[in-house]
Amino acid sequence: MQKLLGSGFRETEESRFDDKQLVWSWRRIPSTMADKIKEEGRVRVEAVPDGSSRLIAETTIECKVFGVGGLMESTAEKHSRHDWQALGEAIRLRLAAGPS
């Protein structure tokens, strides 16, 4: 991957968290191949009838690079899943703390 993207590869993330609706919208912009790599989405929290909550992630991950697009997409998916877990924990802590 480093050979393809270069040793100086970086991503810039633009994101916004709506504290009232508990929705995080994000977009990652790669420093290399920005015209071929798209990664963006929304993550929200829904109440569940048993009183708990559910984290819902809607994501678009596309990599239009011949021969390695699928590998790059699966790597991006793993990265996103890690971020969602961290976000879910942060939201749980925020909700447990009560209104600010």
Q: Which domains, and CATH codes, for the chain?
A: 2-97 (3.30.530.20)
pTM: 0.64
Are β-strands 23-30 and 11-18 bridged in parallel, bridged antiparallel, or unpaired?
antiparallel
Whole-number Å distance between alpha carbons of 1 and 8: 12
Which pLDDT value is given to residue 2? 61
Which pLDDT value is given to residue 40? 92
Express each pLDDT in 24-83 by its tens digit: 898 989 888 888 889 899 988 888 899 887 878 898 989 888 888 888 888 888 887 888
